[in-house]
């Protein structure tokens, strides 16, 4: 520990104290250039004097001295350093330079560096505590917490003491000059004491690696994230609907979904969920029973469960009969089961056992307001052995404070998840159910299509400058190169060409204005439909140009695109934008000109496995109606999935495609075809 | 107190104890047929022996004896009784009979009755406590709580003790044989100690009266409701889109909105909001400042504020300059203001004062994790006088437990709203802002149109049996009687009539099948558009009948309706369903055949003031685009508002209209016209 201090108000004292008090079983050596003693230990004047082996150096020195200290660590052959000090990137330009220098030395000596500007890490099982936080330390537990904020570490350690859960590890990442959140994931998962990973994130350093690693981790141990910074920063200017509908948070939402991890909306929610995920068995289904001694809380629980998408179990006739025998006649046996205020510990225990034995029940929400007749703690004591031995989750809503204190402590000590009110308990059962469903869903690989012509696509993308729109023929060619059917479109420069192309494509045809300056053609009279003769093609050619010139005189018009009219079908929008953090972000939904108003769209990150494509589609009304609605027959859902997957592959292969949008994609009983496509470089 | 008991395990003992211990300043007399003494007081053998005056009787006797006890109260001239006992309506058929009998006696003697099956009421200021709940009682406070559940009263009393707020009154309504939630509202509002009313509701006894009373109350003192039973009960079968889109909770949502009251989603939320509403001044606008000593919690706060629809204030240059002078250079002066971990009590206090003095700041979210350098309580003490004297709200997010305990207690004692994390504090600032905006909005009366012909409407509604659809001519007449323009529609029974009517209406015309058995005409080929000659009218008459016979052979076809084709415009849906609790429930939104899938609809209760109609319209995309979108010019929003108001008046005047739906209402640059209307009796 370099920078140990004998002054109790200094951080270098706090870290030294915690290193000793944490009970770390290896050697702890203090370094201070002045020498002397701290906690009855000799202080070395230099890291060079510290005897072998050294696994880790904790560094608290003023920022300007950090680089030199780190160099000495490197010379000494130390390969892991926690740099606690602040005064780096977070403190302006001088700090940035100091941080760059520190990182450079770390790289030079092969040092992995946590920090700077962090409170270090804490492992309750090793045990090891490199923080300077005042005692008490957190209790040992099963939850790991990785955080971009040191202050939040400090606050939740203190908060957790009364919430009845402990931590396996806490890691404060600080400025992440070297080690970042993703680096810590796998190592934390491998820790045998850790059962759940929780993360407070302000951003993600490397989007693709984060998704890959969290996917792996999350298959083994559940990951719960609180991601902030949703509303920070303005919306970037977007050219297409897909771009306009993408918020700052859209890609993160899609990333967390792709990794199958839980996203909490608040700190309390994150740890509500985490301790149940650490302690409870997972339910086999969505059918929940509510056991209560009062009607009101039972109704709240029923509401909350249904609101979370869970079901109120229909009890088996055997269970109903047994409950009838146990309970007074005025009790309510229809789930929620209301045993009435007179319910004793024995009735609570017997009813809970019956519910857990019922094959129609997948989990139980148990409500315990202060029972008027018995102390809550005696009920808790009767229930704990049953809950501990159950193969189904039981989540407890303990209502009150002074009268349920002891009961809460017993439940916490027995690792039974308990919450103050039924609403939070219901949310926890929902997360357990979702976790079970996630684990039961086999991981499907994203399909990679081989019948594509990447060279052709590349050649079509070389010509246009950044920020420009691809010419329609090139955009069309791009889709064709990736096996997406497109309605042929050709450019006519004059009436003669218009007639010629029309004859070649066959009637009826549609005419669309060709102009780089116009992104929404129908807004300026730039579309004519149902042209069915050479004469009307020629006339249409003139009309469309006149209309556009009138609506937008400054637009540079190249001519008119001609396309064969396509039979009726269902129209949807399919698009992708390139997200700088996570790559191709796919959109699907209701298209047309009202897409931005209706907002019937959903997003997912590329690449898309077949089940991901299906989930994306079915999130929207546009997608659900593909399976048929009212008198409209079902259309080819498979073709839409394939289009989405192929477009995802195309957008992933070419990051220079900033936005690509098929609007509409027309879907038939058999097949689907892009009627219009726009590509921005 | 009738039914006083010397047995400590009996409820009649608990009530007697609380009556004495509450410190009620009037006389308390116990009645027990056996006589004897309780708490050193003589017990009367009968209520008849109790000396005058008697303001209130509290009754705990077995249910079968309650009626006779109540009769004796009546004979004795007592006009207010709380019946605590259970065993009535909640306990099956025998109980229902007992409750009916009790109510009958209450009516006979002019007794107002609270209960049965309740825990009575508790007034901390009078003081009076008629409950049997074990001590400690709640602290005196400013929040009144009216509840349909006694168990929830008991739980929140206990819970509130550690949450740092008190109650003015708690009222357990029980079975509401006589007195219900609405009866209690005005009286509770008039209580001088009550500053906020909170309600736990499982239903509402009389919808219209509830709305009228809560509107009145809410103008004086804020009302916060937790309403449960949202998902209970199945959806009733609905014939129209309006009906199908109305959930069990839709009318309640609309009712609470109409009354301008807050609806909480959980018990914690209800009291989070209530204590800030009781203690804090209201902000003048939506611009909030965040003051913190750590970055992470500041980001959470900023996210939460924006998520709640509030804005991060842009500080004035003067404030920025003053903050710069006060804080270290590494501090962040861009709102959130991060003073860094070194922030002292003095810095907290000075910065808060600057923010409160800044005219660009409407309120402050103050974040206090355990400060590394100073005890949190010293910061609290420095802040409290400033917050108490401020004319703007300051809400505190205290993070932790053991290290912020004392600070929390000081804040609570000083009536400064404090919450464990920034997310909850942000929600509270949002409610304060909404309250301020509500109070600044003048109450607009619903417009009553006089140019209507109610007699004509009544005559059109007499002919059809319950459950039937009104004939289109009658439905059309109904709208006309209430001044809503309708596109003329006439029934042709044969091709001759079809030609004759077409000539009379003028071309182009639309044909629609006439059949009581068909509710969605376009689904069965029952609509033909753009008919422009007598010949095609005759041909269309045959085609449409052939198509419908093929699609739905069992349908009884009366003929074909003929309507003049209407120019293009924007189409919306306008409807109403009769809600048994709250009357006419109005719907507005995107119409067409996909209305049920798109769900771009919103609801409000009739009657509609002009601002209510506007808010209803602008909640939907269909409504927002009436003001113009892309190349579509704005259309006549006023005409839509008027149509909604007139339809609301019609639906309110005739409760026998179970569903009425205009789909579409076509809106032009000037005016709007109903193209199709369906009315169910």
pLDDT reported for residue A239: 60
What is the residue whose two structure tokens read 């027995």? A414
Both structure tokens of B45? 């053998």
Whether the CB-CB separation of B119 and B150 falls below 8 Å is answered with yes
pLDDT band for position A630 (cuts 50, 70, 90): confident
Distance CA B671, CA B82 (A): 58
Q: Give the residue from B200, B272, B269 showing the smallest Cα distance to B229.
A: B200
Residues A410-450 have pLDDT tens digits of 999 999 999 999 999 999 999 999 999 999 998 888 889 99
- What DSSP string describes B383-431? HHHHHHH-SS-EEEEE--STTTHHHHHHHHHTT--EESSHHHHHHHHHH
Residues B229-248 have pLDDT tens digits of 865 443 445 566 767 777 77
What percentage of chain A has pLDDT greater than the value 90?
Answer: 75
Q: Which of residues 291-320 of B touch A (CB under 8 A)?
A: 293-297, 299-300, 302-303, 306-307
SS3 per residue for B240-279? CHHHHCCCCCHHHHHHHHHHCCEECCCHHHHHHHHHHHHH
Whether the CB-CB separation of A539 and A492 falls below 8 Å is answered with no
Distance CA A61, CA A12 (A): 8
Distance CA B226, CA B228 (A): 6
Query: What residues form DSSP beta bridges with B492?
Result: B560
Q: Which residue of A has its CA nearest to B292?
A: A151
Predicted confidence (pLDDT) at residue A232 exceeds the cutoff of 70: no
Mean pLDDT of A624-653: 95
pLDDT reported for residue B236: 45
Distance CA B368, CA B363 (A): 16
Domain boundaries, chain B: 1-118, 138-279, 281-440, 488-564, 570-680
- CB nearest A158 (choices: B155, B400, B629): B400
Report the gap between the CA of A440 and the closest CA in chain B (Å): 28
Count of other CB atoms within 10 angstroms of residue B681: 17
Predicted confidence (pLDDT) at residue A235 exceeds the cutoff of 70: no
B147 contacts in A (CB within 8 Å)? 296
Distance CA A140, CA A224 (A): 19
Half-sphere exposure of residue A247: CA atoms within 13 angstroms, side-chain side: 13
* Three-point CA angle A322, A328, A333, nearest 5°: 55
Q: Which CATH superfamily groups domain A281-440?
A: Succinyl-CoA synthetase domains (3.40.50.261)
Domains B1-118 and B570-680 share a fold: no
Whether the CB-CB separation of A294 and A369 falls below 8 Å is answered with yes
Average pLDDT of chain A? 92
Both structure tokens of A49? 């004097």
Q: What distance, in Å, lies between the first and last C-alpha atoms of chain B?
A: 52
Distance CA A273, CA A419 (A): 11
- CB nearest B151 (choices: A155, A297, A402): A297
ω before B640 within 30° of 0 (cis)?
A: no
Q: Which CATH superfamily groups domain B1-118?
A: NAD(P)-binding Rossmann-like Domain (3.40.50.720)
Provide CB contacts within 8 A for A459, sequence distance 6+: none
CATH number, domain A570-680: 3.30.470.20
Distance CA B97, CA B120 (A): 22
pLDDT reported for residue B234: 37
Report the gap between the CA of A245 and the closest CA in chain B (Å): 15
Whether the CB-CB separation of A166 and A124 falls below 8 Å is answered with yes
* Cβ distance of B268 and A420 shorter than 8 Å: yes
Predicted confidence (pLDDT) at residue A453 exceeds the cutoff of 50: yes
| B319-340: b (≥16 Cβ within 10 Å) or e | bbebbeebbeeebbbebbbbbb
Whether the CB-CB separation of B293 and B371 falls below 8 Å is answered with yes
Provide CB contacts within 8 A for B91, sequence distance 6+: A329, A330, B63
* Cβ distance of A423 and B630 shorter than 8 Å: no
Provide CB contacts within 8 A for B100, sequence distance 6+: none
pLDDT band for position A231 (cuts 50, 70, 90): low
Residues A528-545 have pLDDT tens digits of 888 888 988 999 999 988
Find which of A160, A198, A232, A296 to mutate to test the B interface (most B CBs within 10 Å of its CB). Answer: A296
Both structure tokens of A85? 């000090």
Which residue stretches of chain B have pLDDT < 50?
Answer: 232-236
pLDDT reported for residue B48: 93
CATH number, domain A488-564: 3.30.1490.20
Both structure tokens of A468? 């420009």
pLDDT reported for residue A234: 37
CATH number, domain A1-121: 3.40.50.720
Residues A159-180 have pLDDT tens digits of 999 898 999 999 999 999 999 9
Predicted confidence (pLDDT) at residue A304 exceeds the cutoff of 70: yes
B132 shares contact with chain A (CB less than 8 Å): yes
Higher pLDDT, A103 or A522: A103
Half-sphere exposure of residue A305: CA atoms within 13 angstroms, side-chain side: 29
A145 shares contact with chain B (CB less than 8 Å): no
- What DSSP string describes B427-469? HHHHHHHHHHHHHHSPPPPPP--SS--HHHHHHHHSSSPTTPB
Provide CB contacts within 8 A for B183, sequence distance 6+: none
- CB nearest B401 (choices: A87, A162, A523): A162
Distance CA B236, CA B233 (A): 9
Residues A584-603 have pLDDT tens digits of 999 999 988 888 888 999 99
pLDDT reported for residue A238: 55
Report the gap between the CA of A293 and the closest CA in chain B (Å): 9
Whether the CB-CB separation of A168 and A124 falls below 8 Å is answered with yes
Q: Give the residue from B90, B46, B53, B89 showing the smallest Cα distance to B71.
A: B46
Count of other CB atoms within 10 angstroms of residue A116: 30
Distance CA B59, CA B1 (A): 6
Distance CA A612, CA A623 (A): 13
pLDDT reported for residue A552: 87
Q: Which residue of B has its CA nearest to A522?
A: B631
A151 contacts in B (CB within 8 Å)? 293-297, 341, 369, 399
CATH number, domain B138-279: 3.40.50.261
Predicted confidence (pLDDT) at residue A233 exceeds the cutoff of 60: no
Q: Give the residue from B205, B170, B419 showing the smallest Cα distance to B300.
A: B419
Report ipTM (2 d.p.): 0.88
């Amino acid at each position: 520990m370099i920078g140990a201090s004998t002054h109790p108000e200094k951080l270098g004292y706090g870290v030294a104290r915690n290193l000793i008090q944490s009970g770390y079983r290896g050697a702890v050596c203090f370094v201070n250039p002045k020498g002397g003693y701290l906690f009855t230990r000799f202080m070395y004047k230099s890291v060079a004097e510290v005897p072998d082996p050294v696994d880790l150096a904790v560094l608290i020195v003023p920022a300007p001295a950090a680089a030199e200290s780190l160099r000495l660590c490197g010379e000494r052959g130390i390969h892991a350093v926690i740099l606690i000090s602040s005064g780096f990137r977070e403190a302006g330009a001088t700090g940035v330079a100091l941080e760059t220098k520190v990182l450079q030395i770390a790289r030079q000596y092969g040092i992995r560096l946590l920090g700077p500007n962090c409170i270090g890490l804490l492992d309750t099982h090793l045990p090891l505590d490199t923080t300077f936080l005042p005692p008490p330390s957190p209790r040992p537990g099963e939850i790991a917490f990785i955080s971009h904020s040191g202050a939040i570490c400090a606050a939740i350690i203190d908060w957790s003491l009364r919430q009845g859960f402990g931590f396996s590890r806490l890691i404060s990442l600080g400025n992440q000059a070297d080690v970042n959140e993703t680096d810590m994931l796998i190592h934390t998962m491998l820790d045998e004491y850790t059962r759940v990973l929780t993360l407070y994130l302000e951003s993600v350093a490397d989007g693709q690696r984060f998704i890959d690693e969290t996917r792996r981790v999350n298959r083994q141990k559940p990951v719960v994230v609180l991601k902030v910074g949703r509303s920070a920063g303005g919306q970037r200017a977007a050219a297409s609907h897909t771009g306009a509908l993408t918020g700052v948070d859209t890609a993160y939402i899609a990333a967390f979904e792709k990794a199958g991890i839980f996203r909490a909306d608040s700190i309390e929610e994150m740890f509500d969920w985490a301790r149940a995920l650490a302690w409870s068995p997972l339910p086999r289904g969505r059918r929940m029973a509510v056991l209560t001694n009062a009607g009101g809380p039972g109704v709240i629980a029923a509401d909350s469960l249904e609101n979370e998408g869970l079901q109120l179990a229909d009890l088996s006739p055997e269970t109903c009969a047994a409950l009838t025998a146990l309970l007074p006649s005025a009790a309510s046996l229809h789930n929620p089961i209301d045993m009435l205020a007179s319910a004793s510990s024995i009735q609570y225990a017997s009813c809970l056992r019956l519910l857990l034995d019922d094959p129609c029940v997948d989990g139980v929400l148990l409500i315990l307001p202060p029972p008027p007749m018995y102390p809550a703690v005696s009920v808790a004591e009767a229930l704990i052995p049953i809950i501990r031995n159950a193969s189904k989750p039981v989540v407890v809503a303990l209502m009150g404070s002074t009268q349920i204190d002891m009961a809460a402590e017993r439940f916490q000590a027995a690792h039974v998840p308990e919450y103050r009110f039924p609403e939070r308990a219901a949310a926890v059962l929902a997360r357990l159910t979702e976790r079970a469903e996630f684990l039961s869903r086999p991981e499907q690989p994203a399909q990679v299509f081989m019948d594509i012509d990447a060279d052709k696509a590349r050649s079509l993308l070389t010509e246009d400058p950044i920020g420009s729109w691809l010419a329609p023929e090139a955009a069309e060619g791009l889709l064709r190169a990736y096996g997406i059917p497109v309605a042929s479109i050709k450019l006519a420069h004059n009436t003669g060409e218009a007639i010629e192309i029309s004859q070649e494509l066959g009637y009826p045809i549609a005419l669309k204005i060709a102009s780089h300056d116009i992104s929404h053609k129908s807004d300026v009279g730039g579309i004519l439909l149902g042209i069915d003769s050479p004469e009307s093609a020629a006339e249409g050619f003139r009309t469309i140009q006149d209309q556009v010139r009138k609506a937008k005189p400054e637009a540079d018009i190249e001519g008119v695109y001609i396309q064969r009219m396509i039979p009726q079908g269902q129209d949807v929008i399919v698009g992708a934008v390139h997200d700088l953090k996570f790559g191709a972000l796919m959109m699907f939904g209701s298209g047309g000109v009202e897409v931005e108003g209706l907002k019937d769209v959903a997003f997912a990150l590329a690449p898309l496995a077949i089940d991901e494509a299906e989930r994306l589609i079915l999130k929207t009304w546009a997608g659900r109606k593909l399976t048929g609605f009212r008198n409209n027959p079902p259309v080819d859902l498979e073709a839409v999935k394939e289009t989405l997957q192929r477009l995802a592959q195309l957008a992933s292969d070419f990051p220079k495609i900033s936005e690509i949008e098929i609007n509409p994609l027309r879907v038939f009983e058999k097949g689907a075809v892009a009627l219009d496509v726009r590509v921005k470089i």
